[in-house]
Structure 1
Amino acid sequence: MDQLLSYFLILGAVTALFSLRCWRFVDDAAAEGGSRVGSLDGIRGYLALSVMLHHAVIARHWMQTGVWLPPANPFYPLLGSVAVSLFFMITGYLFWGKLVAKGGRLNWTALYIGRLFRIAPVYGLAIVCMLFVVTVRSGWALHEPAMAVLREVLHWFGLGLLPGLDVNQVPQTALILAGVVWTLSYEWKFYFALLPLSVVAQGRWHLVVAALLLCASIVGTIIASHGIWHFTVLFAVGMMTASLREAGLRFRVAEWLLSALALIALAGPWIVHTGPYSIGQSLPLAVFFFLVCNGAAMFGLFNARPAVRLGHVSYSIYLLHGFVFSVGFDNALMRNMLVSGNVLYFWLITGGGALVLCIVASIVYATIERPCIEYGRSVGSRMTFRTGLQVAASS
């Protein structure tokens, strides 16, 4: 129970910090004025922090045992997969929703250039910092042929499309970033799948297609062991939610009641406890996500300014949080305190790490991420490629 309390205390401390006026530089009028559900901005920051705290518990266990696995705990082992599942649902909802709203005729050049400029800059920063840690751990010396190291490095610059390799014989190089890059591979696969899906994202077909994909992926998850089906379910949940909203389905229910029902649904994965990315986890989360997209703002929390600010910097939190452990935890000064029996030290240090991480992520967002997103929009808007049609942009 004390570890569960620590989770909420850390989230509360970060929320209080981001309520201060000094964080106005994170506010983004363009993003907040869009057509997407406001609660989705507010939830993303808490999802990224949940992944960070999930990995913090694993990192302590890793320093104690040498094994990167969660310890026996009723709460934290599922926390990371719940957060990532909701991230995938958000992606499915936003991009399928855009496609359906445009009748399947998106500006594909703008979409893919926008995704590139959204993902690559902070990703590149994370990889450069990771390689610096590798260099320090290698004693500033090559332990493999230069061409082998170059090949390993180039894999890491594949934006998640290529498997991350150990670099220069530094074992478990991926753990420097807490092993989070794998999710980008599934994000890219979904973005690429949108192009063929655009053919059927018209009229009422979009609802049929989303429903069929959801049903097929659920069946695939039950009868097959390949992870692609488990993650397809999550994207399909987002797509189905977007299609239902586009079809005009709305709940005229008090927000407090929707939030109460959403909380019950959110508890589902821990009540069922069938494992990460299982159907038993995904279906309660689907209900939670559907309710959030239809007005459940957790009694106003997800619409509050601090939550929205955290949502803006969530991608930087997600990609950079591994350094809290690989640099902040894994050193001679901190290691002994963290692996000692006193769990209070661990949570105090973790809470401090979360606050520092959010500050750094905000600076990265304001100086790198947001300017690159805006530049990507500018570049993409000057070129047009719609399904089956290439048009040269006028100057």
Structure 2
Amino acid sequence: MSRTVSFIMLQSPCPIRARKMARLCHIPLDRAELKTPQNQRFTFGNIDNGKPEIGNSLHGVQVVGGSNPLAPTKIKAARLKALRLFRFSPHFAFVQCFLDKVLDVCLKLIASLARGHGLVESSLATRTAHCAIIMTDYAIWPAAATTAGLILALTPKRLFSRLDTPDFNSANRLHSLDGLRGLLALAVFFHHSVLGHFRPSLSEPTFPSPFYDMLGSVGVALFFMITGFLFWSRLISAQTSIRWMPLYVKRFFRIAPLYCFVAIVYGLATLQAVGIPAGTSPLHIAKQAVQWLAFGMVQNPEPFLSFPNTLGIIGQSWSLYYEWLFYASLPFLAVLAKNRTTAPIVIAALVFVLFVDGVIGPGARYFVAQFLLGMLAASINREHPAIRGDGPRRSVVAIALLVGVFWLCDTAYTQLASVLLGGFFTLVASGTSLFGLLKLTGARRLGDISYSLYLTHGAVLTFMFTSGPLLDFSLTGSPQFFMAQAISALVLLMVCIATYMLIEKPGIALGSWIAALPSIQGRQTASRAPIDQHPTTAQSVEGAG
């Protein structure tokens, strides 16, 4: 029986989207082949000596992983642990080389111990060590560098002062949440940029990079927590009746204008791509259009003109459906908010949602839990004000909780991830700034335009990476892709500044004017401002796909 491998991982800067692939395959260990979508064949021989021979002229293609299905559990566990370490390692060349050598020595030692205990025969253990799984091609530091560049770009006070809200420097504003919101919007952008670049060449519906895969679900989870925190904070602080009509008018004009703009762009792009298919019923087209123009209130609308290829322009708006549901629940939550202590109520609801199966659907239960975790953070902040503050220790704990999510979980939609993210968010919502990062002027300005970042990044990525020189450039290698990603991020920033100034701010002003009309105000009076006038509530409506 010939020995076979269960995984082969390839690393290559070749001009195809398949340069990073994880394929289940069964091929002889001494000869590994991968045929790319463009029928280019890479042949590797003599894997046993740890130096695969490259069978074609493209430079830099190498086998970077492999495992034997007969390998013992201990060796598999060590190999997976090494992979987790490499997720967070810097990817500079000299550091990479050093870490490769260290990992190779460790795996050889494991193989020697395995042989000594009779777990595997000598040649198999050696091959397992030489074919260690090392996923190094999805570097993390370029995303961090791009984020730092955008924060620095928005730092000049005079140049971008028009982005600042009237209470931008107010001591009552939750500056840490502003900065967090901006970083989360960028995280969603990075998630979708990597997803759109590499997913088309993968036959399996799995995401090749654990880190970039997690960015999407972590982003939407924390956005939902922000919404729950902000609105529940105002409910439990309200001393008299809430003016619901002004609230919903302002919410509508906060969300709808930009959404309608993106929906129109999506519709026009779809029409340009496919036209109106022959034989399509006008009534059916009108039904599809109405679904997409419903401001995100329709769950999973049918692709316009039944053409799914342009969904990337607006697909991220799926989270608005759950935001609207949460807004609809506010009058009912206001009844519970009248209790003097609300934390036990929220904790009971959270435990019920997370740990009682069959009550809420498997997907929606975690969305509900994330709103509840935000509400819990608000209750804790109000009932235990001593928790508020900032400092290095708090930042270390917050970062440790966040790293734990990426380290221990495959998605944010699990019980463990929800608890860890809830702890992280509670610290940030109580003032933790992650060593001042979240309170930087540039980060907070990213928070100001975060709704635009979230809602328009799909259109920017679609138009920039569908075809053209930037796409061709990005496909020539990993450095080129990350450079193209940085360019698209800069273009997105300029687009978002424009949409914020020309669409969002006028929409907010119009909503405030309508909400102030006597017919909208009604006869209700209140000693406090409506809950949507909380300093940071105005942009808490983002989500991630």
Q: Give me the TM-score of the superposition, normalised by structure 1.
A: 0.91
Distance in 2 separating the partners of 1:248 and 1:113: 33
Correspondence for 2:159: 22
Residue 88 (structure 1) aligned with residue 224 (structure 2): yes
**Is the contact between residue 113 and residue 380 of structure 1 (CA under 8 Å) also seen in structure 2?**
yes
1:350 corresponds, among 477, 485, 498, to 485
* C-alpha spacing 1:149/1:291, structure 2 compared with 1 (3 Å): same
**Is the contact between residue 395 and residue 434 of structure 2 (CA under 8 Å) also seen in structure 1?**
yes
Correspondence for 1:271: 407
Residue 165 (structure 1) aligned with residue 297 (structure 2): no
* C-alpha spacing 1:322/1:70, structure 2 compared with 1 (3 Å): farther
Residue 377 (structure 1) aligned with residue 509 (structure 2): no
Distance in 2 separating the partners of 1:215 and 1:112: 30
Distance in 1 separating the partners of 2:470 and 2:203: 16
Residue 110 (structure 1) aligned with residue 246 (structure 2): yes
2:311 corresponds, among 153, 165, 174, to 174
Correspondence for 2:201: 64
* C-alpha spacing 1:373/1:31, structure 2 compared with 1 (3 Å): farther
2:422 corresponds, among 276, 286, 298, to 286
* C-alpha spacing 1:48/1:252, structure 2 compared with 1 (3 Å): closer
Distance in 2 separating the partners of 1:363 and 1:244: 38
Distance in 2 separating the partners of 1:231 and 1:371: 31
* C-alpha spacing 1:173/1:166, structure 2 compared with 1 (3 Å): farther
> What's the offset of the Cα at 1:220?
3.7
**Is the contact between residue 274 and residue 280 of structure 1 (CA under 8 Å) also seen in structure 2?**
no
**Is the contact between residue 63 and residue 339 of structure 1 (CA under 8 Å) also seen in structure 2?**
no
Distance in 1 separating the partners of 2:460 and 2:497: 15
- Other structure's SS at 1:22 match: coil
Distance in 2 separating the partners of 1:100 and 1:134: 45
Residue 47 (structure 1) aligned with residue 184 (structure 2): yes
2:386 corresponds, among 239, 247, 250, to 250
Distance in 2 separating the partners of 1:371 and 1:259: 37
Correspondence for 1:320: 456
Distance in 1 separating the partners of 2:203 and 2:459: 18
* C-alpha spacing 1:104/1:189, structure 2 compared with 1 (3 Å): farther
- Other structure's SS at 1:160 match: coil
Offset from partner CA, 1:50-77 (integer Å, 9 cap, x none): 000001110011343477x563223111
Amino acid paired to 1:337: F
Residue 391 (structure 1) aligned with residue 391 (structure 2): no
Correspondence for 1:311: 447
> What's the offset of the Cα at 1:128?
0.8
Distance in 2 separating the partners of 1:104 and 1:86: 29
> What's the offset of the Cα at 1:274?
4.1
Amino acid paired to 2:523: V
Amino acid paired to 1:391: R
- Other structure's SS at 2:455 match: helix
Distance in 1 separating the partners of 2:381 and 2:228: 13
- Other structure's SS at 1:346 match: helix
- Pick 1 or 2: higher relative contact order, CA cutoff 8 A, min separation 6: 1
* C-alpha spacing 1:173/1:201, structure 2 compared with 1 (3 Å): same
Correspondence for 1:189: 325
Q: Tell which structure's C-alpha radius of gyration is larger.
A: 2
Amino acid paired to 1:290: T
* C-alpha spacing 1:100/1:274, structure 2 compared with 1 (3 Å): same
Question: How large is the Cα RMSD of the aligned pairs?
Answer: 2.4
* C-alpha spacing 1:392/1:251, structure 2 compared with 1 (3 Å): closer
Distance in 2 separating the partners of 1:182 and 1:273: 23
Distance in 2 separating the partners of 1:291 and 1:392: 36
Residue 362 (structure 1) aligned with residue 494 (structure 2): no
* C-alpha spacing 1:320/1:221, structure 2 compared with 1 (3 Å): farther
**Is the contact between residue 474 and residue 483 of structure 2 (CA under 8 Å) also seen in structure 1?**
no
**Is the contact between residue 118 and residue 376 of structure 1 (CA under 8 Å) also seen in structure 2?**
yes
Offset from partner CA, 1:170-210 (integer Å, 9 cap, x none): 22442222x21110011011111111111121131533322
Amino acid paired to 1:296: T
Distance in 2 separating the partners of 1:357 and 1:60: 17
Distance in 2 separating the partners of 1:222 and 1:301: 41
**Is the contact between residue 383 and residue 392 of structure 1 (CA under 8 Å) also seen in structure 2?**
no
Q: Give me the TM-score of the superposition, normalised by structure 2.
A: 0.67
* C-alpha spacing 1:289/1:33, structure 2 compared with 1 (3 Å): same
Distance in 2 separating the partners of 1:381 and 1:105: 17
* C-alpha spacing 1:384/1:231, structure 2 compared with 1 (3 Å): farther
Structure (1/2) with the larger helix percentage: 1
**Is the contact between residue 389 and residue 432 of structure 2 (CA under 8 Å) also seen in structure 1?**
no
Distance in 1 separating the partners of 2:412 and 2:342: 29
* C-alpha spacing 1:354/1:165, structure 2 compared with 1 (3 Å): same
- Other structure's SS at 1:159 match: coil
Correspondence for 1:199: 335
Q: Specify every segment of 5 or more residues in structure 2 that has no aligned partner in the other structure, as ranges.
A: 1-89, 92-138, 526-545
**Is the contact between residue 26 and residue 312 of structure 1 (CA under 8 Å) also seen in structure 2?**
yes
Distance in 1 separating the partners of 2:475 and 2:161: 38
Amino acid paired to 1:354: A
Q: Specify every segment of 5 or more residues in structure 1 that has no aligned partner in the other structure, as ranges.
A: none
